[in-house]
Amino acid sequence: MSTAHRPRRVLITGGGGFIGSHLSELLLDRGDTVTIVDDFSTGRRANVGIVRDGAGRAERYRVIEGTVSTVLPGLSPLDYDCVYHLAAAVGVRMVVERPIHTIETNVHETSVVLRFCAERALPVLIASTSEVYGKGVRVPMREDDDVVYGSTGFSRWCYACSKAIDEYLALAYHREFGLPAVIVRFFNTVGPRQIGEHGMVLPRFVEAALDGRALEVHGDGRQSRCFCDVRDVVKVLPRLVETEACHGRVFNVGREEPISIRELADLVNATLGGAGGVRMVPYAEAFSAGFDDLLVRQPDLSRIREAVGFAPAIPLAQTIRDLAEEIRGRRALDAAHGAPG
């Protein structure tokens, strides 16, 4: 921890989730006091234990279970120095199968957070997504690009639209009330503690490889994405919130190197010695509702490099190994406690 760092009182919504738990650890380790709000609909209670068990963390770590809209009215913005809003409906499968939940959760809960922060002009980071770019008008994707979405007949795009509304709200609060808000568009953040239950591709692949099963690649596998380790991602978030010049702006966060989903499956098998091969699964078979996809999603990172010097360092193969190790540990713990595998 830098000697110049002034400990902050931080509120993290979705702090029990994949990104939120890693961010909580980072902030606690640098001396901050962290309160998380999470209903654990997609977050994991086990993540709370992992974070709390670190040396010197427990006394500065508070967990409040519940939705943002039920918990925040009972809190005072005077008790916090900044807010990270990470709570959201996430995962391709959840978006396709539960569109009402996706839309209402993302838009309503973000509105509650912004009103809370506006009471005291609290700096706030709003987690958005590369999905906001829709089908994309060019590659690599830049923060000020136009956006093109598919038909409303494909529920897949409701997530993109709901997160775009979140961005409009945050930017409107900045312009109208001077709220120091920063928006980050995550591009396929991956790493330890991510789970495949809601359609996240890398943990699905890693779990299958560990089990000796075939890795299921949806579509033709030519669609490419850019995967960035969560430990690289969370390091840059405090710098964005704490840099005044970043307020009222949108930033891509991720890696620039693309890999096709078929290539990703092959890399996972090669890295972990997976013996089950790869099975191609048509979208119509993989999802119960209409699905529409795009071929390339790649960020332009010029803006975030210039603003705070962002430079992700952890290679994808290392992320795969670390995720596999975490999954093995999780399974061993579940087995020791008699939980289903």
> For residue range 170-194, what is the model confidence (pLDDT) as tens digits?
999 999 999 999 999 999 999 999 9
Q: Say if residues 271 and 263 touch (Cβ distance below 8 Å).
A: no
Is position 281 within any domain? no
- Please, which pLDDT band fits residue 44 given cuts at 50, 70 and 90? very high
Long-range pairs for 308-312: beta carbons < 8 A, 24 or more residues apart: 308/236, 308/239, 308/240, 308/243, 308/246, 310/236, 310/253, 312/228, 312/229, 312/232, 312/233, 312/254, 312/255
Q: Cα(266)–Cα(309) distance, rounded to whole angstroms?
A: 32
Q: Enter the DSSP assignment of 154.
A: S
Q: Closest by alpha carbon to 127, among 31, 280, 17, 46?
A: 17
Tokens found for residue 47:
């993540």
123 assigned to some structural domain = yes
The pLDDT assigned to 289 comes to: 55
Higher-confidence position of 151 and 210: 210
- Of the candidates 133, 149, 159, 173, the residue annotated as catalytic is 159
In-domain check, residue 129: yes
Domain total in the chain: 1
Backbone φ and ψ of 76, nearest 5°: -110, 130
Distance CA 124, CA 247 (A): 9
Q: Examine residue 17 and state whether it is found in any structural domain, yes or no.
A: yes
Q: What is the CA radius of gyration of the chain?
A: 19
- d(CA 38, CA 15) in angstroms, rounded, equals 6
The position carrying tokens 């962290």 is 34
User: Are 256 and 226 contacting, i.e. CB atoms less than 8 angstroms apart?
Assistant: yes
In a domain, 185, yes or no: yes
Calculate helix-pair angle for 157-177, 99-118, nearest 10 degrees: 10
- At 341 the pLDDT is 45
Contact between 85 and 116 (Cβ < 8 Å)? no
What is the rounded CA–CA span in Å between residue 196 and residue 87? 18
- Tell me how far apart the alpha carbons of residues 46 and 288 are, in angstroms, rounded to a whole number: 30
**Can 159 be counted among the known catalytic residues?**
yes
Cis amide prior to 140 (ω within 30 degrees)? yes
The pLDDT value recorded for residue 2 is 45
Residue 320 included in any domain:
no
User: For residues 317 and 267, is the Cβ–Cβ distance under 8 A?
Assistant: yes
Q: What is the pLDDT of residues 255-303, one digit of tens each?
A: 999 999 999 999 999 999 999 999 999 877 776 555 667 789 999 999 9
DSSP 285-331: HH-SS-----SB--B--HHHHHHH-------HHHHHHHHHHHHHHHH
Domain of 123 in residue numbering reads as: 9-190+228-255+297-314
Q: Can you tell me the distance from the alpha carbon of 112 to that of 287, in angstroms, rounded to the nearest whole number? A: 32
Q: What is the pLDDT of residue 336?
A: 86
* CATH assignment of the domain containing 128: 3.40.50.720
In a domain, 130, yes or no: yes
Q: CB burial class (10 A; 0-12, 13-18, 19+) of residue 93?
A: middle
pLDDT tens across 131-166, in order?
999 999 999 999 999 999 988 888 878 889 999 999
Question: Would you say residue 134 lies in a domain?
Answer: yes
Torsion sign, CA atoms 129, 172, 100, 149? negative
Query: pTM for this structure?
Result: 0.93
**Per-residue pLDDT at 250:** 98
**What is the rounded average pLDDT of the residues 317-337?**
94
Token look-up 């989903």 returns: 261
Backbone angles phi, psi at 37, to 5 degrees: -120, 125
Say if CB 236 and CB 311 are below 8 A apart: no
Helices 261-272 and 201-211 cross at an angle (nearest 10°) of 40
